[in-house]
A and B are shown apart, each in its own frame.
Chain A
Amino acid sequence: AQSVAQPEDQVNVAEGNPLTVKCTYSVSGNPYLFWYVQYPNRGLQFLLKYITGDNLVKGSYGFEAEFNKSQTSFHLKKPSALVSDSALYFCAVPSSSNTGKLIFGQGTTLQVKP
């Protein structure tokens, strides 16, 4: 069964520093992988997705993610964090039996401090 894991409940980083939010995956076949962000009292917003091709995927708000097949990872990164990046981040993968159904990780809270 397809699954993703986010090993950190919370990541703390100072504004201006690079940030990484980790995600590992377990899939059969070629992986499609997504990152979504949830700001307080808001629904989830799409950040980026990996289908195939370049291992570095660029997304919204200056975020990017690095696909690493050997480590089965898809970590979210940003070179310089902003306080406004503070939010809940979810990694997701489509179900193998229903590609319209996303299976989400448990989420990682990113806290960016001034």
Chain B
Amino acid sequence: EAGVAQSPRYKIIEKRQSVAFWCNPISGHATLYWYQQILGQGPKLLIQFQNNGVVDDSQLPKDRFSAERLKGVDSTLKIQPAKLEDSAVYLCASSFSPGGEKLFFGSGTQLSVL
């Protein structure tokens, strides 16, 4: 079974530039999550999709972050413009359904904002 695919693996940008991350979840998983993991901290949920609808984006900085999952399969997370404090690992995860299910994580995209 293929796992959660993410790209790119690493990205270095300057502040105020834009960046996009891509995620392809495990086939058949309706729920997709984007987490932000800052060094020394646990992952924090940015946004959760159920199929192509947003379930929870309460911690997404909407003035600069956006995400979409147009066809209910793969997803893109964008930051525009990036700030220094956005330096983190961005993890995509998926599950068959929400609520008490284990999550399957991708390897993440490590973003450095200079």
Contacts and interface: CB of A to CB of B under 8 A. Distances in A.
Interface in B39-97: 40-45, 48, 50, 55-56, 91, 93, 95
Contacts of B55: 98, 100
Nearest to A32: B100
Interface in A8-61: 32, 34, 36, 41-46, 49, 51
Interface residues of B, number: 28
Contacts of B4: 43
Of the listed residues A32, A43, A49, A51, the one surrounded by the most CB atoms of chain B closer than 10 A to its CB is A43
Given A44-B91, A100-B48, A101-B56, A106 B102 contact: no
A92 B101 CA distance: 12
B107 A42 contact: yes
B56 A100 contact: yes
A86 B41 CA distance: 18
A101 B45 CA distance: 7
Contacts of A49: 100, 102
B45 A106 contact: no
Given A101-B48, A104-B42, A107-B42, A46 B56 contact: no
Interface string B9-48: 0000000000000000000000101000000111111001
Contact of A44 (B43, B45, B98): B43
Interface string A76-113: 00000000000000101010001111111111000000
Given A43-B91, A104-B43, A99 B99 contact: yes
A38 B105 CA distance: 10
Nearest to A44: B105
A34 B18 CA distance: 35
A99 B42 contact: no
B109 to A, nearest CB: 10
Q: Which of A36, A46, A102, A103 has the most CB of B within 10 A?
A: A102
Given A43-B4, A43-B91, A100 B98 contact: yes
A43 B108 contact: yes
Q: Which 4 A-B pairs have the closest CB atoms?
A: A100-B98, A104-B42, A43-B105, A99-B99
